Chain A
Amino acid sequence: ELKVEQNPLFLSMQEGKNYTIYCNYSTTSDRLYWYRQDPGKSLESLFVLLSNGAVKQEGRLMASLDTKARLSTLHITAAVHDLSATYFCAVEYDMRFGAGTRLTVKP
């Protein structure tokens, strides 16, 4: 059975700091997705990673995919409060989601 594991599950950061969220998955997949969910809101697509070595950046967020290691990372650069949310990765097969990383950015 496909497993998608994210870590950490909870992350409290200071503004201005950098950090990385990891997403490991247990089966071969060439597509991985990152979503953001604000409290009480629905999910919003951030990145679609389609192949090994894919890297995408939007503002202070950068996502990468290593299909051989079955690992995707979401790197946060110089965090700001507006980035506080829960971040999910999802693997194409059944669009299986990780448990989510709840990020809190403190001033």
Chain B
Amino acid sequence: KAGVTQTPRYLIKTRGQQVTLSCSPISGHRSVSWYQQTPGQGLQFLFEYFSETQRNKGNFPGRFSGRQFSNSRSEMNVSTLELGDSALYLCASSLALGDSPLHFGNGTRLTVT
């Protein structure tokens, strides 16, 4: 069974640009969550989607947005990039049932210069 796939693995952008990250969940998983991981702030929750609807949102500015498609694939968009947006962005999928844990992808390493 294929795991969670995130593309691209690495990305370098300039301040002010925008970026779109992609996540393909494990087949059958309908919940997709996004996290930002930095050395200083640790793992911070961005948002969660379930069946194309945003169920939960973390404390990030509106420049961070996401969506989920009917096939459960998800995209995350960051507009007007800032230096502080440099981070590892992790996507995780789950069955969102009972005791199902999150299954994480390998992440997208975003560097903003």
Instruction: Give A residues with C-beta under 8 Å from B.
Output: 31, 33, 35, 41-45, 48, 50, 88, 90, 94-100
Give the nearest-CB partner of B107 in chain A. Answer: A42
Give the nearest-CB partner of A44 in chain B. Answer: B104
Contact indicator B58/A42 (Cβ below 8 Å): no
Contact indicator B106/A45 (Cβ below 8 Å): no
Give the nearest-CB partner of A98 in chain B. Answer: B42
Residues in chain B near residue A44, CB distance under 8 A: 104
The complex places the Cα of A88 from the Cα of B92 at a distance, in Å, of 15
Interface residues of chain B: helix, strand, loop or mixed (majority) = strand
The complex places the Cα of A98 from the Cα of B44 at a distance, in Å, of 9
Q: Which of A45, A50, A95 contacts B45 (CB 8 A)?
A: A95
Q: Which of B33, B101, B106 contacts A48 (CB 8 A)?
A: B101
Interface assignment of B67: CB less than 8 Å from any CB of chain A: no
Q: Which of B33, B99, B105 contacts A50 (CB 8 A)?
A: B99
Q: Which of B43, B101, B103, B105 contacts A97 (CB 8 A)?
A: B43
Interface assignment of B102: CB less than 8 Å from any CB of chain A: yes
Closest 7 CB pairs of A and B: A45-B101, A97-B43, A42-B104, A43-B104, A48-B99, A99-B42, A42-B106
Q: Which of B102, B103, B105, B107 contacts A95 (CB 8 A)?
A: B102
The complex places the Cα of A34 from the Cα of B33 at a distance, in Å, of 17
